[in-house]
Amino acid sequence: MARLVIVSNRVPVPRPRERPQAGGLAVALKEALATREALWFGWSGQTASHTGGSPEIVTVGQTTYATIDLSSEDYRLYYTGFANGMLWPLLHYRMGLAEFRREEWEGYRRVNRAFAHSLTPLLRDDDVIWIHDFHHFPLAAALRAAGAKQRIGFFLHVPFPPLPLFRALPQGNILLRELASCDLIGAQTPSDASNLRDALRGAGFDVPVHPFPIGIEAEEFAREAEKAVRGQDARRLADSLSGRALILGVDRLDYSKGLPQRLRGFAALLRRFPEHRGRVTLLQVAPVSRGDVVQYRALRRELDELAGRINGEHGDIDWVPVRWMTRAVPRATLAGFHRIARVGLVTPMRDGMNLVAKEFVAAQDPADPGALVLSCFAGAADELKGAILVNPHDPDEIAEGLNAALVMPASERRARWTGDIAVLRRNSAAAWAEGFLAALAQIGQDAPRAGGA
Ligand code: GDG
């Protein structure tokens, strides 16, 4: 089997004497990496005096991790600037939050060339290269310019907006041209794939673009949840609820996740459905993310204030309606929290997939599962037909969804959960990675031969 070369902005390099960092792409690619030799290349997460140079190499089993540093200047221009300050809001349909600066655009493209320059000497002729996400739109072209002839696939983890919106990006056609150096492009949903295909075609490129919805290892997460509910943290949480129903939210503190809208929706529940007052608790875990981007700092202040206001207005001497945490919680502990929750509340304004929604479903007790209230703008809404779908722009709709979830009889919760867990087991993380890699291996193989029938 060909060696797999993964490229992503961050690389989960295993650190000796530390517990493995389970999460993100590392979880999704676990199976794929277990079955073949692999090289995982990307940024070390460190800044230094220069970008690039020869990578630092760590090999564990069949996987080699190779990372390079970024200069502080490039970190600011490429990562904080163009990737998080321009592309992230644009791809999440939030042009009002996007800021374009020519020097950041240039920094972004320079860092991608530096990636190609450091990666090229490590490549073998029969490697298969799989590039991940919007940090690296220009990378395939930079690798081709350095002579790479290997098969190159690209997966976009976030949404892709319709063409008129994408056109707001100055020089967007250059990014599309560079992306078109790939042999196969994957997106999360059929509509993201079709938006990206239209943009590429509009710029004159006919690369195959298909949906490959990312999954999770549901059985493994369920086992973790079952174990964690007996653990100390989950027991502390369960005891502290005093019999109240738990509504749980878990998200990076990001404006795409609809957190203010969620808190307003919860406040609307308490106002419009007073029978739930004193009987529910919302726990929102929102670890701070991208704290050096100004929009994220403003969001954090807004949420601190909103949570305080709701508690001030609705709280009682023995009841705090909103528990608000900006610290990260260990993954296994979170699995236990999901299992305790009566309602999973996931309200992104736009989300490529949203793995939290899937993790909530996977963690439930089959005999007495909780209900999921899910934004219709999460990619996961395409698959999780048992969720109560809401439009997060309307707090009243969130409140109605929460009420429906809280009063739903156990038989209906079980019926909805049974359908969703079957989908999750089928569309696993392993199936996602193998599906993409099989499609990439197939490119060019099934083209009609000249003169053939
Ligand atoms: C991007 C796309 C797409 C969250 N808080 C804690 C914690 N998490 C974990 C969750 C989940 C992951 O982080 C977040 O994944 P999401 O999919 O929800 O969202 P993004 O980070 O925005 O991911 C998204 C994804 O890529 C994959 O393609 O689904 O649409 O935006 O696994 O559980 N984990 C721990 N502590 C926390 O406090 N340990």
Give the tens place of pLDDT for each residue, 202-260. 999 999 999 999 999 999 999 999 999 999 999 999 999 999 999 999 999 999 999 99
For residues 311 and 252, give the distance between their C-alpha atoms in angstroms, rounded to a whole number: 22
b/e map of 122-139 (b: 16 or more CB within 10 Å)? ebeeebbbbbbbbbbbbb
For residues 229 and 337, give the distance between their C-alpha atoms in angstroms, rounded to a whole number: 7
Computed over every residue of the chain, the mean pLDDT equals 95
Q: Is 338 a catalytic residue?
A: no
Catalytic site residue from 127, 133, 192, 351:
351
Q: What is the rounded end-to-end Cα distance, in angstroms, of the chain?
A: 31
> Crossing angle of helices 218-228/410-426, nearest 10°?
130
Q: How far is the CA of 186 from the centre of ligand 1 (A)?
A: 19
Percent of the chain with pLDDT over 90: 91
Q: Which atom of ligand 1 is nearest to the CA of 333?
A: 39
Output the pLDDT for position 27.
Answer: 86
Q: How far is the CA of 188 from the centre of ligand 1 (A)?
A: 14
Question: Would you state the structure tokens that stand for residue 147, as one six-digit string?
Answer: 């002579």
DSSP letters spanning 16-46: TTS-----HHHHHTHHHHHTS-EEEEEEEEE
Say yes or no to pLDDT of 21 above 60.
Answer: no
Output the pLDDT for position 451.
Answer: 43
Q: How far is the CA of 23 from the centre of ligand 1 (A)?
A: 8
Can you say whether the dihedral through the CA atoms of 261, 262, 267, 273 is positive or negative?
Answer: positive
Output the pLDDT for position 22.
Answer: 53
Identify the structural domains of the chain with CATH numbers, from first to last: 4-215+431-441 (3.40.50.2000), 218-426 (3.40.50.2000)
Q: How far is the CA of 121 from the centre of ligand 1 (A)?
A: 33
For residues 108 and 83, give the distance between their C-alpha atoms in angstroms, rounded to a whole number: 7
Q: Which atom of ligand 1 is nearest to the CA of 352?
A: 30
Q: Is 136 a catalytic residue?
A: no
Q: Which atom of ligand 1 is nearest to the CA of 378?
A: 30
- Tell me the whole-structure pTM to 2 decimals: 0.96
Catalytic site residue from 92, 135, 136, 157:
157
Say yes or no to pLDDT of 181 above 70.
Answer: yes
Dihedral angle computed from the Cα positions of residues 374, 375, 380 and 382, in that order, rounded to the nearest 10 degrees: 110
Say yes or no to pLDDT of 178 above 70.
Answer: yes
Ligand 1 site-directed mutation target among 27, 160, 255, 354, most atoms within 8 Å of CB: 354
258 vs 450: which has the higher pLDDT? 258
Give mean pLDDT, residues 291-309.
Answer: 93
